[in-house]
Amino acid sequence: MSLNAITDRAPAAGPSTAKWIGWTVVALMAWGAVYSQLVPFSDWVMASTQVDPSSHLGEAVSFFAYDTPKVLMLLTLVVFGMGVVRSYFSPEKTRALLAGKHEGIGNVLAASLGIVTPFCSCSAVPLFIGFVSAGVPLGVTFSFLISAPMVNEVALGLLFGLVGWKVALTYLGFGLGVAIVSGWIIGRLHLEHWLEEWVRNIRSTAIVMPPEELTVVDRIKAGIEAVKEIVGKVWPWIIAGIAVGAFIHGYVPASLLASIMGRDAWWSVPAAVVIGIPMYSNAAGIIPVVEAFITKGAALGTVLAFMMSVIALSLPEMIILRKVLTIRLIAVFVGVVGTGILAVGFLFNALFQ
Amino acid sequence: MKDVKVLGPGCKRCVTTAEMVQTEADKLGVPVKVEKVTDYAAIAGYGIASTPGIVIDGKVVHAGGLPKAEDLARWLAA
């Protein structure tokens, strides 16, 4: 049925379009078939290695054998889907939507568009200048810049695969919340004069690119391209992360982390945020380890705060942004976003007892 | 002689884009002068919000991500 729906909408659906859609459907079905066999597969691995499943080594091996293919497959699916969705958006279109928007609604819109707009940290500076010089309010621009890297498909895909969809959705919701509120506060502080001077002096006319004519096939290709680029880059980190996670699963005593990362240790939330700042992104390597922490007694709010801090407050990104922001403005940015993440950690630990 | 500017702070994609422009132009036999613009203020002046961007004879034709070869051919032939 979905196949008909897609072909009906495509105006120039030639034979090759049908072929592409057909193969995509076949690939998705094959994905589902393989995915449903993962438990038997890991059982088979366990049986053939002849390790006692209840031993330390057995727990570690079974975690590794089941989670590695599962997470890589879920991540591939999420990245593919996101690649297709993102082909409908561009930073220029997003900027046109945000220009002249009032704060409040502008922050909500910017944070939401941050999830679906293609964004690479190497073009953070051109994007920042492009937004601000074209009349997007500073706070609204920040909402976009906070949400775009934090609520990304790798983090969502991995959380979905390792910890479950509820936590993935919670991360999405709280991530958006932090981006919206932090951007709104930065906007209310009226810090435009804390931008580097040359940035303030740029007056450019925002251009709107002529709409690129993308066919359904182009969009499917965009999804495949995203998988090649993103999954192709992060898979070694994921495997390394799962290996460390597997070791923790098998060898670390169950309640070891409860005292340091548990709900009762209030100081663990700020500690998690501070430790997270110098650790650069690699959501890919960190999430599998963090998942193992949860099973060993770490509180979920503390863990979420840690992940958000690692991903949203990264030193390399601050160094890049230093080109356009004064140190004072960067300090405000870190302070506001860090406080937001702290609040998420405490709130979450308090709500989900 | 077409004047092509590739806008970008010098990331890998920007370098690849400049190479793609040259390759495509050679294939079509269109004489081009490819210049990389890496200065942030200059890039912003063209009004784009994502890099790499491509400007041909003063007109912005592309922004964000690697261009498609067939689009490059179309822009260079125009």
**pLDDT score for A54:** 78
In chain A, what residues touch B41 (CB-CB under 8 Å)?
129, 198, 202
Q: For residue A120, list chain B residues with Cβ-Cβ distance below 8 A.
A: 11, 13
Q: Which helix (H) or strand (E) holds B60?
A: strand B59-63
Q: Which residues of A touch B51 (CB under 8 A)?
A: 122-123, 126
Q: What is the value of ipTM here, to two decimals? A: 0.83
Q: B9 in contact with A at a CB cutoff of 8 Å?
A: yes
Q: Distances in Å between the alpha carbon of A107 and those of A84, A97, A143, A337, B25?
A: 25, 12, 6, 14, 43
* Per-residue confidence (pLDDT) for residue A107, from 0 to 100: 94
| Domains parsed from chain B with CATH numbers | 16-77 (3.40.30.10)
Asked if B50's CB is within 8 angstroms of A126's CB, the reply is: yes
Residue A131, chain B, CB below 8 Å: the answer is yes
In sign, the C-alpha dihedral spanning A266, A268, A269, A274 is positive
Q: pLDDT by residue for chain A (353 residues), tens digit each?
A: 444 444 444 445 567 888 889 998 999 999 988 888 888 888 888 888 777 777 888 888 888 888 888 888 888 999 999 999 988 888 888 998 898 888 889 999 999 999 998 877 777 888 888 888 888 999 999 999 999 888 888 888 888 888 888 888 988 999 999 999 999 999 999 888 888 888 888 776 777 666 667 788 888 988 998 899 888 888 888 888 888 888 887 787 767 777 777 777 788 889 888 888 877 656 677 888 888 888 888 888 888 888 888 888 877 778 888 888 889 999 999 999 999 999 999 988 887 75
Rounded to a whole number of angstroms, the distance from the CA of A322 to the nearest CA of chain B is 13
Angle at which helix A216-226 crosses helix A15-36, to 10 degrees, equals 40
Q: Look at A204 and B44 and tell me if their CB atoms are within 8 Å.
A: yes
Whether the bond between B31 and the residue before it is cis, its omega within 30 degrees of 0, is no
Is any Cβ of chain B less than 8 angstroms from the Cβ of A92?
yes
Tell the residue number behind the tokens 């928007």, with chain if given.
A101
- Residues on chain B touching A207 (C-beta within 8 angstroms): 46-48, 60
Residues of B in contact with A321 (CB under 8 A): none
Whether residue A250 contacts residue A51, with contact meaning beta carbons closer than 8 Å, is answered with: no
A204: contact with B, CB 8 A cutoff: yes
Rounded Cα gap, residues A335 and A182, in angstroms: 9
Q: How many CA atoms lie within 13 A of A276 on its CB side?
A: 30
pLDDT digits (tens, 9 = 90+) for B45-71: 888 888 888 999 888 888 888 888 888
Contacts of A122 in chain B (CB under 8 A): 9, 11, 13, 51
Cβ of residue A205 closer than 8 Å to a chain B Cβ = yes
Mutate to test the interface with A, among B13, B36, B40, B54 (most CBs of A within 10 A): B40
Q: Does B51 touch chain A (CB under 8 A)?
A: yes
In this predicted structure, what is the pLDDT of residue A147?
92
Q: Write the DSSP symbol of residue A19.
A: H
